[in-house]
Amino acid sequence: MPKRGGTEVFRITGARQGLAEDVRGRQRRYIISMTVRTLSVIAAAVLWNVERHVAIVALALGILLPYIAVVIANAGRESAPSLPSTFVPAPVRPALGAGEEADRGADRPYGRD
């Protein structure tokens, strides 16, 4: 969709969120995961002599959560495939044909008489 000056137009409806927002969101998810991990390790220590099965599950959660949190935090930026393309290509203009001068000189070398 060219404008009056023939410049390209870009749509922003499919733009990704900013880098700072992305990093802040990943940090927030990591902190939440580590908080849950800390609480599960504390629960495992408190419940060890009271309810050993729950304590073992909490301890397993405390062991596995750091790996899961790091994988989620390092997932990186990804574009959503359902959003439209952010680039609108310029329309293709047909090529001009050869002029009469070029047609007349085509059978002669270098267009000479």
Q: What is the pLDDT of residues 26-57, one digit of tens each?
A: 888 889 888 989 999 999 999 999 999 999 99
Instruction: Please provide the distance, in angstroms rounded to a whole number, between the alpha carbons at the two ends of the chain.
Output: 47
| pTM score of the predicted model | 0.52
Buried b (16+ CB within 10 A) or exposed e, 27-64: eeebeebeeebeebbebbeebeeeeeeebeebbebbee
Chain mean pLDDT for the chain: 75
Asked if 7 and 84 count as a contact pair (C-beta separation under 8 A), the reply is no
1 pLDDT higher than 60: no
105 pLDDT higher than 60: no
